[in-house]
């Protein structure tokens, strides 16, 4: 029986779907933070069951007719309702492409692979991961093929479309080509300039984990993270999970280097603020979700790289750092800490990379995942291809698999097609932060006082509150005057690393 008001019925069903997905999000967070290892098989069963439940809601037999009838009455809908209906259709197209058994199999395989990845990384042995990762790749290809047929896209673009609706590899190739045209020369100029200036003074550790945690909490409270609707925990790989009303962010601590955890906390805080700022009236509907991972990564990188590596922020944070660790002296002055936090040098670990070399890490992963999915690179050959790519792009070769092809959780977790959004997010972050500074006189002075309210207000109005009302390029054009491009990022790097 088709409802008299098909759009209202769709909203009801997508509200139920949202509840199932939000429950799964908390279970996923728990799996990565608090779940005992022995519970992994049971958790995989729980998550697989929820994924099938969500899939069944989405692909109910009457959904095509409901969507068609609602679309016939589109002219009677408001702007947000019409956008919501568009997002419903997009979500349904992705879901309807997959049979339930494939949805369940992928969830079980990625759950098993994530647990195997933890052990393989500890042992720095990719061969331990190969069987379970091979299963994930096989299932990912099946998913990609099914979605490619439904969407009329190449396999990789169909997977990319899960993370960035409308994202296409041809656009990525163009933007990455522009970055490759100037990044090597910029990297050379920056490293030569920093070599002439001499090395900054190193901060003397060790740094107690509890002191690091307290400092991170203090700083993200200042930025605007609401601990009545969120948590900060520890995981093997930093991430943001949970829901818009219950934001779960994580980091990992290193007693020898507190910057690794702190910058991870600031990065995830940017993600968390985006989730918490999504339109409250629509956050249980598709239009109320984040637009895509390009904007999501723009919010984390805007906070971590654009705002919190600025000299203004470091001037605010340096006294808090000294107090947190009971340190003093020239190394702990703001100017030296700023030099440390903007030091450019090729390194093995993506999440610790500086702004100049970070895109090169992403280009490597983008190249490799396309080659693996396309059958041009055997999975067993990934470690060697990874090391060759690191030597080509960054001039260094990983010492073992743990700092090489095992460092990221994304492929074991099934996120194939996700990696490009990191660098696209960095481009968007540069555009958005430049626009925020232009629109908000005194913004950097406020950040220097630890007052993030003006920045957060601008982001709330121009990014967060928009949800998925418009596509990424439209949102960026409205907020910054231009679609996604490389110009603002290039200008930012030149000003920060060559002009000061």
Using CA atoms, how far apart are residues 267 and 224, in angstroms rounded to an integer? 13
Prior bond to 206 cis, omega within 30? yes
Using CA atoms, how far apart are residues 53 and 380, in angstroms rounded to an integer? 35
The three-class DSSP label of residue 148 is helix
The DSSP 8-state label assigned to residue 247 in this structure reads: E
Residue 386: name the closest of 156, 374, 371 by CA: 371
> Within the chain, what is the greatest distance between any pair of CA atoms?
75
Residue 120: name the closest of 407, 413, 371 by CA: 407
- Strand duo 246-251 + 240-243: pairing: antiparallel
Residue found under tokens 């740094």: 207
Using CA atoms, how far apart are residues 136 and 102, in angstroms rounded to an integer? 11
Residue 204: name the closest of 314, 321, 327 by CA: 327
The three-class DSSP label of residue 236 is coil
Tokens (6 digits) for 431:
């555009």
Q: Is 268 a catalytic residue?
A: yes
Using CA atoms, how far apart are residues 470 and 250, in angstroms rounded to an integer? 29
Residue 465: name the closest of 289, 227, 247 by CA: 289
Contact call for residues 117 and 129 (beta carbons, < 8 A): yes
One of 164, 268, 355, 369 is an active-site residue; which one? Answer: 268
Which residues are part of the catalytic machinery? 268
């Amino acid at each position: 029986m088709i409802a008299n008001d098909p759009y209202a019925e769709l909203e009801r069903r997508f509200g139920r779907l949202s509840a199932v997905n939000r429950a799964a999000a908390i279970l996923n967070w728990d799996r990565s933070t608090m779940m005992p290892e022995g519970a992994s098989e049971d958790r995989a069963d729980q998550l697989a069951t929820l994924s099938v439940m969500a899939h069944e809601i989405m692909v109910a037999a009457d959904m095509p007719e409901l969507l068609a009838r609602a679309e016939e009455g589109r002219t009677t809908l408001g702007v947000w309702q019409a956008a919501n209906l568009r997002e419903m259709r997009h979500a349904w197209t992705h879901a309807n492409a997959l049979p339930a058994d494939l949805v369940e199999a992928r969830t079980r395989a990625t759950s098993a692979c994530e647990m195997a990845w933890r052990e393989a990384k500890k042992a720095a042995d990719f061969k331990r991961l190969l069987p379970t990762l091979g299963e994930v790749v096989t299932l990912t290809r099946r998913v990609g093929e099914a979605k490619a047929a439904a969407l009329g896209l190449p396999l990789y673009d169909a997977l990319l479309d899960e993370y960035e609706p409308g994202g296409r590899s041809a656009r990525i190739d163009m933007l990455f080509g522009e970055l490759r045209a100037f990044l090597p020369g910029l990297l050379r100029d920056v490293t030569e300039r920093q070599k002439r200036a001499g090395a900054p003074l190193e901060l003397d550790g060790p740094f107690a984990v509890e002191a690091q945690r307290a400092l991170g909490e203090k700083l993200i409270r200042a930025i605007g993270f609401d601990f009545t609707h969120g948590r900060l925990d520890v995981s093997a790989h930093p991430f943001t999970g949970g829901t818009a009303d219950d934001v779960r962010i994580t980091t990992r601590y290193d007693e020898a280097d507190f910057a690794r955890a702190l910058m991870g906390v600031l990065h995830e805080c940017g993600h968390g603020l985006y989730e918490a700022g999504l339109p409250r009236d629509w956050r249980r509907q598709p239009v109320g979700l984040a637009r895509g991972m390009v904007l999501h990564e723009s919010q984390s990188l805007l906070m971590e790289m654009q705002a919190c590596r600025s000299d203004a922020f470091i001037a605010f944070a340096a006294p808090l750092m000294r107090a947190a660790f009971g340190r003093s002296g020239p190394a702990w002055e703001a100017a030296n800490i700023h030099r440390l936090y903007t030091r450019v040098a090729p390194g093995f670990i993506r999440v610790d990379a500086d702004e100049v070399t970070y895109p090169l890490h992403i280009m490597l992963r983008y190249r490799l995942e396309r080659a693996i999915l396309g059958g041009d690179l055997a999975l067993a050959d990934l470690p060697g291809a990874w090391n060759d790519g690191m030597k080509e792009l960054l001039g260094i070769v990983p010492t073992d698999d743990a700092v090489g092809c095992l460092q990221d959780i994304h492929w074991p977790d099934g996120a194939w097609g996700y990696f490009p959004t990191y660098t696209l997010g960095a481009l968007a972050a540069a555009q958005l932060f430049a626009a925020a500074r232009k629109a908000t006189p005194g913004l950097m002075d406020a950040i220097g006082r630890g007052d993030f309210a003006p920045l957060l207000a601008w982001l709330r109005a121009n990014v967060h509150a928009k949800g998925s009302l418009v596509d990424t390029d439209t949102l960026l054009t409205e907020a910054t005057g231009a679609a996604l491009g490389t110009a603002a990022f290039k200008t930012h790097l030149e000003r920060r690393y060559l002009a000061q």
